[in-house]
């Protein structure tokens, strides 16, 4: 029997404060995930660790809440006609391979430069990927919002769709026909990023938008299918080793199942480009947060001399900025949803009044 | 019309109460016996099925409860969904209709 629990793994004592904290973060993380298809995990893992949960148990428990949350979100958005299941399954298959490559890279870095080197690599990956991709996503969203145009297929995706390398795959819901060979790199990169920073969607969603050519709303919804399939596989692996603290998982799930459905409802009130606005904002803020952690890891590798109080302060600032990123994302979503609902209700009232006037005139 | 809406709302309230009660019961049973649960749930190997099946069960019950709560609060998906990028739909295949033709042999 593989009884790791008896081998000295520490499962924390739960208090009302920690349970409330996990419930709230679960709710906000769920809201963001339901809207942009990913996110939340990057705050939950360090959040759990700040409560004293060991890193591996935090990752395992987080992953175990992620896949049922993604399943509920994907189902909800599938009902709104936003999910391309075929695209999600193909992306998830290649992302699974990407995760294995990402783990190998991590193992290589850990063996060569130790824990500090590995942390530095993760933070650098965060900053480089999030600034580049997040910056472009944000710029694109700003461009669309300013011009008032409809969101259009990127030139790269249009060009890739004209290259006919078999097997060509047609994605019915997204209404795209593209070679399988162009979807594989997006899936691989998604998996690699998931293995490195635990949020593959930061590559997966922009990849589906700009490389495959799927609309933003559909990409974020399809990302939930990928998160479900990858999360299920990962959770089984962690469960086989007895690493999941089911108490933490269930508390987070209690909040996130409310959040993910609210986020999914929110997508029906907004324009396509708002997905990009939320995603770009969160990515850029998380990049700043991880950037603040870099001096600490450089100091641990003796590449920079910084006092311990400074590094402790920077790490605290990093965590606060990360929470802020999630909060800002949630506020944009709720604000847009509120605005959308209000204008829809006003429109309904106006139509009702016009109909009444029309009837009165005829009477 | 009003009666139909009231009946629908009544049904929704009962559904919310039922799912809510089941959800609270499940959470209570679980956390009152959390030490026992943790003992078995962290054993790994065959016992790995326990956490996976548990989250599926909780997500069904609690997920349904959460969905009903939002509906009850009037927070529902927009009836007028935003258009996902407009794309040209392929035309349905047309079959040539046979036509009667008359010709004169002169």
Side-chain-side CA neighbours of residue B33 (13 Å): 10
E strand spans, chain A: 168-171, 176-179
Higher pLDDT, B94 or B3: B3
Which member of A1, A217, A344 has the closest CB to residue B78?
A: A344
Report the pLDDT value the prediction gives residue A263, as an integer from 0 to 100: 93
pLDDT average, residue stretch A219-246: 91
Nearest to A257 among B41, B48, B63 (CB): B63
Burial letters B67-78, b for 16+ CB under 10 A, else e:
bbbbbeeeeebb
Please answer whether residues A176 and A16 qualify as being in contact, where contact means their C-beta atoms are separated by less than 8 angstroms.
no
Whether the CB of A193 is below 8 Å from some CB of chain B: the reply is no
Provide mean pLDDT across the span A139-161. Answer: 83
Region label for B45, one of left (φ > 0), alpha (ψ between -120 and 50) or beta (otherwise): left
Min distance A11 CA to chain B CA atoms (Å): 9
In the predicted model, is pLDDT for residue A3 greater than 50? no
Surface of B (25-64) touching A: CB under 8 A: 27, 30-31, 34, 37-39, 41-45, 47-52, 54-56, 58-59, 62-63
Q: Check if the beta carbon of residue A141 is closer than 8 Å to that of residue A283.
A: no
- Least-confidence region, from A213-227, A277-291, B43-57: A277-291
Tell me: pLDDT of A63 over 80: yes
Structural tokens at position B100: 């009667």
Take residue A35 and report the two structure tokens written for it. 């809207």
pLDDT at residue number B95: 65
pTM: 0.84
DSSP label at residue B43? S
Query: What is the spatial distance between Cα B64 and Cα B12, in angstroms, rounded to a whole number?
Result: 11
Is the pLDDT confidence value at A89 over 60? yes
Q: Which residue of B has its CA nearest to A340?
A: B78
Of the candidate ranges A57-61, A75-79, A216-220, A300-304, the one whose mean pLDDT is the lowest: A300-304
How close A166 gets to chain B, by Cα (Å)? 22
For chain B, how many residues are written? 106
Express as a percent the part of chain A with pLDDT over 90.
Answer: 33
The mean pLDDT of A38-67, rounded to a whole number, is: 83
DSSP assignment of A212-236 equals I---HHHHHHHHHHHHHHHHHHHHH
Give the bridge partners for A176, in sequence order: A171
* pLDDT of res. B92: 57
**pLDDT given for residue A185 in this prediction:** 92
Express each pLDDT in B51-60 by its tens digit. Answer: 999 999 999 9
Task: Name residue A179's beta-bridge partners.
Answer: A168
> CA–CA separation, A48 vs B87, rounded Å?
45
Residues 69-88 of B with CB under 8 A from A: 69-70, 75-82, 84-87
Residue contact A11–B42, C-beta within 8 A: yes
Percent of chain A residues topping a pLDDT of 70: 96
Distances from the Cα of A348 to the Cα of A351, B75, B77, angstroms = 5, 16, 15
Greater confidence (A339 vs A42) lies with A339
Residue A274 confidence (pLDDT): 87
Q: Is there a contact between A54 and B42 (Cβ–Cβ < 8 Å)?
A: no
Chain Cα centroid distance, residue A301? 30
Closest residue of B to A79, CA-based? B77
In this complex, is the C-beta atom of A340 within 8 Å of any C-beta atom belonging to chain B?
Answer: yes
Report d(CA B84, CA B86) in Å as an integer: 6
**Å from A319 to nearest chain B CA?**
28
Q: How confident is the model over A48-56, as a mean pLDDT?
A: 81
Backbone angles phi, psi at B80, to 5 degrees: -110, 85
List the single range of A2-6, A50-54, A172-176, A198-202 with lowest mean pLDDT: A2-6
Answer yes or no: do A268 and B82 touch at CB < 8 A. yes
List chain A residues with CB under 8 Å of B67: 76, 261
Greater confidence, A160 or A8?
A160
A5: chain B residues, CB-CB within 8 Å:
38-39, 42-43
Q: What is the pLDDT of residue A71?
A: 95
Note the pLDDT of residue A355.
83
DSSP A130-190: IIIIIHHHHHHHHHHHHHTPPP---HHHHHHHH---SSEEEETTTTEEEEHHHHHHHHHHH
Determine the pLDDT at residue A179. Answer: 93
- Measure Cα distances from A144 to A131, A132, A140, A153, B99 in Å: 20, 19, 6, 12, 52
CA distance B40 to B48: 9
Q: Given this model, what pLDDT does residue A199 score? A: 77
Q: In the prediction, which pLDDT does A6 show?
A: 42
Evaluate whether A69 touches A31 at the Cβ level (below 8 Å). Answer: no
Q: Given this model, what pLDDT does residue A1 score? A: 40
pLDDT in tens, A308-331: 888 889 888 888 888 898 899 999
Binary contact (A150, B85; C-beta < 8 A): yes
Query: Of the given ranges (A102-106, A300-304, A337-341, B15-19), which has the lowest mean pLDDT?
Result: A300-304
Measured from the Cβ of residue A341, the count of other Cβ atoms closer than 10 Å reads 18
Residues of A in Cβ contact (< 8 Å) with B48? 236, 239-240, 242
Cis peptide before A167 (omega within 30 of 0): yes
Stretch A158-164: mean pLDDT: 90
Q: Which residues of A touch B34 (CB under 8 A)?
A: 14, 247
Q: Per-residue confidence at A104, pLDDT binned at 50, 70, 90?
A: confident
ipTM: 0.83
Q: Which two tokens stand for residue A137?
A: 């996503």
What integer best gives the mean pLDDT of chain A?
86
Instruction: Tell me which chain A residue has its CA closest to the CA of residue B79.
Output: A268
Q: Does B22 touch chain A (CB under 8 A)?
A: no
- Contact status, residue A264 vs residue A78, Cβ threshold 8 Å: no
Alpha-carbon distance of A170 to A86, in angstroms, equals 9
Confidence band (pLDDT; 50, 70, 90) for A7? very low
**Distance (Å) from the alpha carbon of B16 to chain A's nearest alpha carbon:** 13
């Amino acid at each position: 029997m593989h009884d790791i629990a008896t081998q000295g793994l520490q499962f924390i004592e739960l208090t009302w404060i920690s349970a409330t904290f996990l419930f709230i973060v679960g709710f906000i993380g769920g809201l963001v995930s339901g809207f942009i298809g990913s996110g939340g995990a990057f705050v939950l893992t360090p959040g759990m660790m700040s409560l004293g949960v060991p890193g591996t148990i935090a990752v395992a428990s987080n992953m175990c809440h992620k896949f049922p949350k993604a399943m509920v979100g994907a189902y909800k958005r599938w009902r709104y006609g936003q999910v391309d299941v075929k695209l999600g399954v193909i992306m998830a298959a290649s992302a699974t391979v990407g995760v294995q490559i990402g783990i190998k890279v991590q193992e290589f870095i850990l063996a060569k430069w130790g824990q500090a080197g590995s942390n530095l690599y993760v933070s650098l990956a965060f900053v480089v990927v999030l600034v580049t991709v997040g910056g472009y996503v944000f710029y694109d969203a700003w461009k669309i919002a300013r011009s008032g145009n409809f969101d259009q297929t990127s030139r790269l995706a249009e060009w890739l769709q004209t290259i006919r390398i078999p097997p060509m795959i047609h994605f019915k819901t997204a209404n795209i026909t593209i070679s399988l060979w162009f979807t594989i790199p997006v899936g691989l990169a998604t998996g690699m990023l998931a293995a490195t920073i635990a949020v593959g969607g930061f590559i997966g969603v922009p990849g589906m938008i700009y490389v495959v050519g799927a609309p933003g709303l559909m990409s974020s919804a399809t990302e939930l299918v990928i998160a479900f399939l990858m999360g299920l596989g990962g959770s089984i692996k962690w469960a086989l080793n007895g690493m999941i603290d089911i108490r933490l998982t269930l508390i987070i799930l209690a909040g996130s199942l409310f959040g993910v459905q609210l986020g999914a409802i929110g997508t029906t009130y907004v324009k396509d480009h708002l997905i990009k606005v939320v995603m770009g904002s969160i990515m850029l803020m998380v990049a700043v947060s991880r950037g603040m952690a870099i001096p600490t890891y450089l100091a641990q590798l003796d590449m920079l001399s910084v006092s311990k109080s400074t590094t402790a302060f920077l790490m605290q600032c990093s965590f606060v900025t990360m929470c802020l990123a999630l909060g800002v994302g949630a506020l944009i979503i709720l604000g847009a949803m509120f605005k959308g609902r209000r204008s829809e209700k006003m429109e309904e009232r106006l139509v009702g009044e016009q109909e009444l006037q029309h009837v009165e005139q005829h009477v | 019309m009003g009666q139909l809406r009231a009946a629908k709302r009544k049904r929704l309230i009962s559904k919310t109460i039922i799912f809510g009660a089941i959800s609270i019961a499940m959470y209570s049973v679980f956390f009152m016996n959390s030490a026992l649960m943790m003992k078995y749930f962290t054993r790994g190997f065959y016992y790995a099925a326990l956490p996976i099946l548990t989250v599926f069960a909780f997500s069904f019950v609690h997920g349904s409860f959460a969905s009903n709560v939002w509906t009850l609060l009037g927070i529902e998906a927009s009836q007028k969904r935003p258009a996902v990028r407009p794309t040209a739909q392929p035309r349905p295949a047309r079959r040539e209709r046979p036509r009667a033709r008359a010709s004169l042999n002169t």
